[in-house]
Amino acid sequence: MNNQLPVPLANEMPENFNGILYFSHKRCGVCHVLRPKVEELVKEAFPELVFSYVDVEESPATAASYSVFTVPVILVFFEGQEFYRFSGGVSIGELERQISRPYELKFT
């Protein structure tokens, strides 16, 4: 599931939100390489999660509300709670391993 709607501020995150917030900006080379891989992982391995992209230059208040001050940052949420935070370059394998266990508990 892909969502390009505005992401709520951290204190307004819905309690039933299950998804990934991907923080980046247009000038980040690593971000542009990583983003399609993360989107594909979510689509293929974690279809119940929402993938949302946040451009930190276009939405600085949103980024600040999640204490995101560098990019890329990937936040993983289950039931409206942040479960994991990945900063900088993260391998897709590591991301998949970390998300798999809580995802299976929630959706199987």
The band of 7, judged by pLDDT with boundaries at 50, 70 and 90, is: confident
- Between 87 and 6, name the one with better pLDDT: 87
> Mind listing the pLDDT tens digit for each residue in 38-74?
999 999 999 999 999 999 999 999 999 999 999 999 9
The domains of the chain are located at 2-107
Which residues neighbour 42 within 8 Å (Cβ) at sequence distance 6 or greater? 1, 20, 49, 51
* pTM across the whole model: 0.91
According to the model, what pLDDT value does residue 64 have? 95
**What does the chain come to in residues?**
108
Q: What confidence tier does 1 reach under pLDDT thresholds 50, 70, 90?
A: very low
Selected from 3.30.70.260, 3.40.30.10, 1.20.1250.20, 3.30.43.10, the CATH number assigned to the domain covering 2-107 reads 3.40.30.10
Return the exposure string of 52-80: e unless at least 16 CB atoms fall within 10 Å of the residue's CB, then b. Answer: bbbbbeebeebbebbebeebbbbbbbbee
